[in-house]
Structure 1
Amino acid sequence: MDRQVKVLITDAAYTHTLGAVRSLGRAGFRVTAMSPDPGAVSFYSRYCHDNTLCPDPGNEEQFIDFIGNYIQENPVDVLVPVGYLSTVAISRHKKELLPFARIPVAEYEPMQVACNKQKTIRFASTLDVPVPGEYVSVEDVTGFPVVAKDPYGSGKIRYIDSPQEFERLDLTGYLLQEYIPGAGYGFFGLFNHGKVRAYFMHRRKREFPVTGGPSTCAESIYDEEVKRIGLKLLESLRWHGVAMVEFKKDNRDGVFKLMEINPKFWGSLDLSIASGVNFPVLLVNMALNGDIDPVFRYDTGMTFRWPFPEDMVHLCAHPASGIN
């Protein structure tokens, strides 16, 4: 295209959105960032050409109406959702928005599988992907700790250490699983209607809380088994766009157990960009051109820290873990 390509990106308050805005701006795209937060960090980036306030994506009807009106009045070439609620809403309403912008996100049917942890586990089991042991009810629990997960999206995760805690908490509808001791691993991919176009993997060095939470320090790695399972899941879903598959390597048997599928950009996006897989730029180019040359090489051994506040909180709580 002779003119500058326009990209509209959601969830400007997230730090990994800032990483995407910087990458896209450096690649020559004209980026507009949107958020309900007037202090959103991406608004202040030199690579953010324009910004706009929008309704909270938690109010899906208002959010989609706003986007539809905005992209008709302010034409853009590509719409890139970042946050969970934004991604799900745009996937659900993709057909009505497609006349006005390219939207490289998964169709709503596979999105529903990825968004619901119970559906994810059932789907993975049909592919013989290892998953944590599940308890149908509290009465079935045979050992502690137990992980109680809100089945939807990025909902709450609780760690139950005793029968007494079950009595104090309302866990109606929660998925109850055995706790998997071990390090966290991630497979990150860009797919074109089920065909992988780029991938990346990392190992969590630190997270907060240490029982399971967002990465505060991670290292780029390559692991054949992580890749095999990640590809198997996302190819079987005929995934389109970006996604993360999260695992824990069980200390007891050395097997990678599936934690969840994250159907959107991930918090450690900066690490993949620094390691040589520029997912935001690849995603936009795929949307513009229909396909891209695959990117299957990247630097391993790269470490990325999110020092404030994430890693500082981890180190204050667990000083023995050090800063390496």
Structure 2
Amino acid sequence: MCAKAVILGCNYYIGLSALRCLGQFGIHTVAVDYSEERAYGALSKYTSERLISPHYKQDKDAFITFLKNYGRMQQEPPVLIPCHDSYVEVIDEHLEELRELYRIPQTEQGLYTKVMNKESLHRIAQQYGMNVPETLSPDDEGFLDRVEKELKYPCIVKPADSPSFVAVFRHKLFKVHNQAELEKTLTKVREAGLEVIVQRIIPGFDDHMYTFDAYLNQHAKVTHWVTCQKYRQFPINFGASVYTGQKYVPELRQIGGAFLENIGWKGFAEIEFKRDAETGTFYLIEVNVRMTNLNELLRQVGINFPYVTYREMTGTPVEPHAITKDMNRVFWYSYEDMLAIRDYIKTKQLTVWQVIRSLLRPKAYAIWSWSDPKPGLAFASMTLGKIWSKFRRR
């Protein structure tokens, strides 16, 4: 009997893409979420089994018990694929006990969390000679003077723990333009009981953002990789990919691959870089340790990372592969990209003609699929419902 693939988090298109990437090969997929209400990804025709679990944060112990009980009932240990940072945090905390019942690429407990945490990632990256934006902690001696002299304004206030920060503020970070704004922001953060760092902004428009997406085998060696270039993000300038194209950048393989191998990484990871518009230097911004927003794009250009993960974890690894030419295809999350386009034009960062010209490229859609329409229709219904509710409240 073949091992199942348990997908954690189906209320966002990352989980949906993982279900599609695996289900097309006839793999038994299990869509897990804490609520049926917004888990549109689980409506995919590639979902073999659907489960509702306790909330991973509100009742963590019950969630772990749920996973362990399900794992014990299987004839073969399932492959566990988290599709949200918060699921990864919980898995890392209980990695040793979960690895007794599930196939999980990472073997070193704590490494997921160290790489997700912006402060510890910064230290690790420096240890291995990676370029990182100049960073200060509010606890550093002479902090306010050093921000003024070393980072300069505007600068950004970033969370050490992104999921907790986003849950409170609904933003990935704060951009501050002077000392008064910085102090006001730090007060809000302290009141929320969160830790942050303050970083220099690397110069360059959003198209100076790049990704190195890779899979490393159980010997911590890169076997599959592809690079991409962001074009638009939402929220603009400091958000998530909404319009991103595959772009061959061999330098990122050298930089990113060496870093992941040096820290003993196993499984999938996506490093986000920003290329300094003034010097051309690539700076490490963050590392995504769960499956990427760009799954569908990467599958279409030639690397199906959820499937690569599944095959290695079940003892039948696929041949190593890299995408070493430009395939002229972009990932498009149309809903948030429309919001981003509005803001780019409003702030005069893009023109209408630049946007129209960009949209002519072949696309890999975040949600919509003609062959698997139910998730897209459910998402459209949810979105229209929210718009209608806002309209009625006015």
Per the shorter chain, which TM-score range?
Answer: over 0.9
Aligned partners of 2:325, 2:8: CA distance in 1, in Å? 28
Q: 2:20, 2:44 within 8 Å by CA — same for their partners in 1?
A: yes
The one-character-per-residue Cα deviations of 1:5-60 (angstroms, maximum 9, x if unpaired) are 42111101120211110110101101110001203112211000110011222243
Q: What's the counterpart of residue 8 of structure 1? A: 6
Aligned partners of 2:316, 2:115: CA distance in 1, in Å? 24
Aligned partners of 1:33, 1:81: CA distance in 2, in Å? 11
Q: In 2 relative to 1, CA 46–299 (structure 1 residues): closer, same or farther, beyond 3 Å?
A: farther
Q: What's the counterpart of residue 55 of structure 1? A: 54
Q: 1:24, 1:31 within 8 Å by CA — same for their partners in 2?
A: yes
Q: What's the counterpart of residue 240 of structure 2? A: 214
Aligned partners of 1:236, 1:273: CA distance in 2, in Å? 27
Aligned partners of 1:99, 1:45: CA distance in 2, in Å? 29
Deviation at 1:91, TM superposition (A): 2.5
The one-character-per-residue Cα deviations of 1:121-175 (angstroms, maximum 9, x if unpaired) are 1111111111111234233112211111111244441111122212322244311
1:45 aligned onto 2:44: yes
- Structure 2 letter corresponding to 1:139: D
Aligned partners of 1:210, 1:35: CA distance in 2, in Å? 29
Aligned partners of 2:47, 2:325: CA distance in 1, in Å? 28
Aligned partners of 1:203, 1:46: CA distance in 2, in Å? 31
Matched residue count: 322
Q: 1:244, 1:263 within 8 Å by CA — same for their partners in 2?
A: yes
Matches within 5 A, 1:269-280: 269-280=295-306
Aligned match for 2:183, one of 144, 167, 181:
167
Q: 2:230, 2:243 within 8 Å by CA — same for their partners in 1?
A: yes
The one-character-per-residue Cα deviations of 1:238-269 (angstroms, maximum 9, x if unpaired) are 11111111110011211001101111112122
Q: What's the counterpart of residue 80 of structure 1? A: 81
Give the TM-score, by structure 1 length. 0.93
Q: In 2 relative to 1, CA 106–211 (structure 1 residues): closer, same or farther, beyond 3 Å?
A: farther
Q: For structure 1, which segment, 294-303 or 232-241, has the greater mean C-alpha deviation from structure 2 after superposition?
A: 294-303
Q: In 2 relative to 1, CA 244–163 (structure 1 residues): closer, same or farther, beyond 3 Å?
A: same
Aligned partners of 2:182, 2:239: CA distance in 1, in Å? 21
The one-character-per-residue Cα deviations of 1:65-121 (angstroms, maximum 9, x if unpaired) are 111112223555322222111122112212212232212235223223202111111
Local SS of the residue matching 2:321? coil
Aligned partners of 2:296, 2:200: CA distance in 1, in Å? 31
The one-character-per-residue Cα deviations of 1:268-299 (angstroms, maximum 9, x if unpaired) are 22211111100011100000016442112366
Q: What's the counterpart of residue 192 of structure 1? A: 217
Local SS of the residue matching 2:110? helix
Deviation at 1:300, TM superposition (A): 2.2
Aligned partners of 2:130, 2:145: CA distance in 1, in Å? 26
Aligned partners of 2:264, 2:199: CA distance in 1, in Å? 27
1:180 aligned onto 2:189: no
1:108 aligned onto 2:109: yes
Local SS of the residue matching 1:309? helix
Q: In 2 relative to 1, CA 240–38 (structure 1 residues): closer, same or farther, beyond 3 Å?
A: same
- Structure 1 letter corresponding to 2:319: D
Q: What's the counterpart of residue 138 of structure 1? A: 144
Give the TM-score, by structure 2 length. 0.77
Aligned partners of 1:94, 1:203: CA distance in 2, in Å? 33
1:24 aligned onto 2:49: no
Aligned partners of 2:36, 2:325: CA distance in 1, in Å? 36
Matches within 5 A, 1:154-303: 154=163, 155=165, 156-169=172-185, 170=187, 171-172=189-190, 173-182=195-204, 183-193=208-218, 194-289=220-315, 291-297=317-323, 300-303=326-329
Local SS of the residue matching 1:188? strand
Structure (1 or 2) with the larger CA radius of gyration: 2
Q: For structure 1, which segment, 75-84 or 173-182, has the greater mean C-alpha deviation from structure 2 after superposition?
A: 75-84
Aligned partners of 1:50, 1:148: CA distance in 2, in Å? 41
Q: 2:248, 2:325 within 8 Å by CA — same for their partners in 1?
A: no
Aligned partners of 1:213, 1:87: CA distance in 2, in Å? 20
Q: In 2 relative to 1, CA 247–6 (structure 1 residues): closer, same or farther, beyond 3 Å?
A: same
- Greater helix proportion: 2
Aligned partners of 1:306, 1:65: CA distance in 2, in Å? 37
Q: What's the counterpart of residue 67 of structure 1? A: 67
Unaligned runs of 5+ in 1: none
- Structure 2 letter corresponding to 1:322: V
Q: What's the counterpart of residue 148 of structure 1? A: 157
Unaligned runs of 5+ in 2: 166-171, 346-350, 359-394
Aligned partners of 2:261, 2:300: CA distance in 1, in Å? 26
